[in-house]
Amino acid sequence: MSGIQKANTQGTPGKYVALGLFIFTAIVGSLFIYLGPKATEKTPGILHVGIRFANEHMVEFTQYSKTGPGARIEFIAADGSIPHSVERLAMGRNLVPISNLSDGLYTVRLSSEDYISVEMPMIAEGRMLNPPEDLQFAHDTHADYNMIGVRFEPKPVLRR
């Protein structure tokens, strides 16, 4: 006997493995379909907040740490109260939970020390936060479904 010998294999164990994987995939898929909406109802909505600074590439910006001077976001209700605020937002992308906001119109104020504050109206609906239709954004500011982006401009320095 010279050459290659054929291994003694049977085809039936492979069929059982494929059938087992198919049944396992069907069970896991049906659990995702059944439990998926229930799991997302209990999770808070997440707002993506992007923060940049107009002078972040200048020498005077080096007085701050790598994350910048920090920022704050406040959700101001129609009656003037502030039901939710988050401090210490870093430069770049931040994830802010919005679970404790009731439905309605809010003014979102983003502020940072030594920089001009930015305000924009947003509508809270469940776990979503959206800008009103046809809203004209301020320069270097943008908002969309659960996203806000702002580029802070430095406050003018008064020289004597």
Residue type, 56: E
Identify the pLDDT of residue 50.
94
* 72: number of Cβ within 10 Å: 15
Instruction: Lowest mean pLDDT of 10-19, 23-32, 84-93, 131-140, name the range.
Output: 10-19
pTM (predicted TM-score): 0.69
Query: Could you report the per-residue pLDDT of 38-75, keeping only the tens digit for each?
Result: 655 556 688 899 999 998 888 888 888 888 899 999 99
